[in-house]
A and B are shown apart, each in its own frame.
Chain A
């Protein structure tokens, strides 16, 4: 059973930079895993931030970026704002038609 791991929580100061990561138990994350990132606030449906590693979804601010860093997928926020405080999830394709979400990262901006 493939597991996708994210940091459970992260804290960043307003204006600061934070990188959330997404790791695969079976090895390195690559573009062939089609990393996708979602943002979710309480009571709302998820919002897609990035798909296919680094393609920005419509309306996503440029302070957000998606990438592969080392052997993980990464979501970086440069110049964090108060309304970035949310849960962030990554989704990876793990083969044989199956996709797996990470457990999510709760980001606090304070």
Chain B
């Protein structure tokens, strides 16, 4: 059974940093692209970033490029998202997702974790 468990969400001050983690199990982690998606309170889903299975290919949505860094440790079956220079509009539940198809590129998210809440406030 595919399982994705996010952690690391917290209350952080504006301008602060945080690292989110996603522990994966139930599949060969290195075979799949992984994606972070976020959802601000009462708002829609926003695609944030994707990393290929071997970590060589990485993409970000414009609003986080230069502030967020996605990475993965395939030996530990863990996905990360480093969040820097946080602002109020980064407040959201952050979801970790796994692609439906194995391979280098992303073809769309199939499996979702339960999410971790990041709150940016003074």
Task: Kindly provide the distance from the CB of B44 to the nearest chain A CB, expressed in whole angstroms.
Answer: 4
Give CA–CA (A104, B45) in the complex, Å: 8
Partner of A99, one of B44, B50, B100, B101: B50
| A63, B64: Cα distance in complex, Å | 38
Partner of A45, one of B59, B108, B110, B112: B112
Number of interface residues of B (CB under 8 A): 24
User: Is the CB–CB distance between A97 and B57 below 8 Å?
Assistant: yes
CB contacts (< 8 Å) of B109 on chain A: these are: 36, 48, 51, 91
A101 and B46 contact, CB distance less than 8 A:
yes
Taken together as a complex, chains A and B put the C-alpha atoms of A89 and B46 apart, in Å, by 10
> Which residues of B sit under 8 angstroms from A45, Cβ to Cβ?
95, 112-115
Q: Does A1 contact B (CB under 8 A)?
A: yes
Mark out the residues of chain A between 33 and 69 whose CB falls within 8 Å of any chain B CB in the assembled complex.
Answer: 34, 36, 38, 40, 45-48, 51-52, 55, 57
B27 within 8 A of A: no
Bound Cα distance A55, B111 (Å): 14
A98: chain B residues within 8 A (beta carbon): 47, 59, 61
Contacts known (A45-B95, A45-B114, A91-B47); A36 close to B59, Cβ less than 8 A: no
Contacts of A40 in B (CB 8 A): 45
Kindly list chain B residues whose C-beta atoms are within 8 Å of the C-beta of A89: 44-45
Which residues of B sit under 8 angstroms from A57, Cβ to Cβ? 110
Whether A48 contacts B106 by the Cβ 8 Å rule is no
Taking CB atoms and an 8 Å cut-off, the chain A residues in 4-50 that contact chain B are 34, 36, 38, 40, 45-48
A107 within 8 A of B: no
Which of A45, A47, A102, A104 has the most B CB atoms < 10 Å from its CB? A45
Instruction: Tell me, yes or no, whether A100 is within 8 Å of chain B by CB.
Output: yes
**Shortest distance from the beta carbon of B11 to any chain A beta carbon, whole Å:** 20
- Contact of B107 with A52 in the complex, beta carbons under 8 Å: yes
Smallest CB-CB separation from B6: which chain A residue?
A: A45
CA of A34 to CA of B99 in the docked complex: distance in angstroms? 12
Q: Given A34-B108, A52-B100: A46 and B45 within 8 A (CB)?
A: yes
Chain B positions near chain A (C-beta within 8 angstroms): 35, 37, 44-47, 50, 57, 59, 61-62, 95, 100-101, 106-115
